[in-house]
């Protein structure tokens, strides 16, 4: 029942936010009583944190393959490093485009707006490793760029994929579509790849 509650809660919290979602709704949708939440998680906040950890685990799982691409960064050449960066960014973009990711992606975007303890768990459990891995890859791609500039560069590249979720409504307006389907997804992913190549292939200095 704990798992069932967490699954339902991620959906509710993702849709309506922490305050918008009610424990009664979550319990009802899970087919149990509200007091189960108190019993299993100690309360609404405990359930929320459990959701954050569950999401972190899911992301880690999904990005396990990507994470392997960041191993031995110092032992590969520039071409390979660029190719791996492109693969990781594309994976991230796919996640941002995937309907299944909608609820927990919204969960994370909300947390970024007003970080709580939950963000810390998301960061440590899922994001930190990936970000540090990409930073190491970029060190190979742009060895002469100062560390801070390189990290800024990294976040801006991620921003291209993030906008697909965080700015979804605007992206749809721009493309003149109601939602991002297969065709739009392919187009956006290809464009991200093109842009990222342009950004990374630039100054080798």
Closer residue to DNA (CB): 30 or 160? 30
153 binds a copy of itself (CB under 8 A): yes
Query: CA–CA separation, 61 vs 63, rounded Å?
Result: 5
33 binds DNA (CB under 7 A): yes
Burial (Cβ within 10 Å: 0-12, 13-18, ≥19) of residue 19? exposed
* Distance of closest approach, residue 24 Cβ to DNA, in angstroms: 4
Non-local (6+) Cβ contacts of 89 within 8 A are: 157, 158, 160, 161, 192, 193, 196
The dihedral of CA 152, 153, 156, 161: what is its sign?
negative
Closer residue to a copy of itself (CB): 68 or 149? 149
Q: Which residues of 57-87 are buried (b: 16+ CB within 10 A; e: fewer)?
A: ebbeebbeebeebbeebeebeeeebbebbbe
Q: Which residue is associated with the tokens 């190979």?
A: 140
15 binds DNA (CB under 7 A): no
158 binds, among DNA, a copy of itself, none (CB under 5 to 8 A by kind): a copy of itself
* Distance of closest approach, residue 61 Cβ to a copy of itself, in angstroms: 20
Binding track over 79-118 against a copy of itself, x by CB under 8 A: ---------------------------x--xxxxxxx---
37 binds DNA (CB under 7 A): yes
23 binds DNA (CB under 7 A): yes
Q: Which of 28, 71, 152, 181 binds a copy of itself (CB under 8 A)?
A: 152
192 binds a copy of itself (CB under 8 A): yes
Residue 103: other Cβ atoms inside 10 A: 18
Query: Rounded to an integer, what is the distance from CA 180 to the centroid of its chain?
Result: 17
79 binds DNA (CB under 7 A): no
170 binds, among a copy of itself, DNA, none (CB under 5 to 8 A by kind): a copy of itself
**Which residues here bind DNA, judged by CB under 7 A?**
1-2, 21-25, 31-40, 43-45
């Amino acid at each position: 029942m704990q798992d069932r509650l967490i699954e339902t809660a991620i959906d509710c919290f993702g849709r309506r936010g922490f305050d918008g979602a009610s424990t009664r709704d979550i319990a009802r949708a899970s087919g149990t009583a509200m007091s189960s939440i108190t019993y299993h998680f100690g309360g609404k906040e405990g359930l929320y944190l459990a959701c954050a950890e569950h999401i972190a685990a899911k992301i880690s799982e999904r990005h396990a393959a990507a994470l392997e691409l960041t191993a031995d960064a110092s032992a590969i050449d520039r071409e390979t490093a660029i190719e791996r960066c492109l693969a990781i960014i594309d994976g991230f973009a796919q996640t941002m485009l995937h309907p299944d990711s909608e609820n927990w992606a919204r969960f994370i975007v909300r947390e970024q707006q007003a970080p709580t303890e939950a963000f810390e768990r998301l960061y440590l459990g899922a994001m930190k490793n990936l970000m540090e891995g990409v930073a190491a890859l970029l060190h190979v791609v742009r060895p002469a760029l100062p560390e801070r500039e390189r990290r800024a560069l990294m976040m801006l590249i991620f921003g291209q994929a993030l906008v697909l979720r965080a700015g979804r409504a605007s992206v749809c307006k721009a493309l003149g579509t109601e939602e991002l389907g297969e065709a739009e997804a392919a187009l956006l992913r290809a464009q991200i790849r093109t842009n990222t190549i342009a950004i990374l292939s630039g100054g080798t200095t």
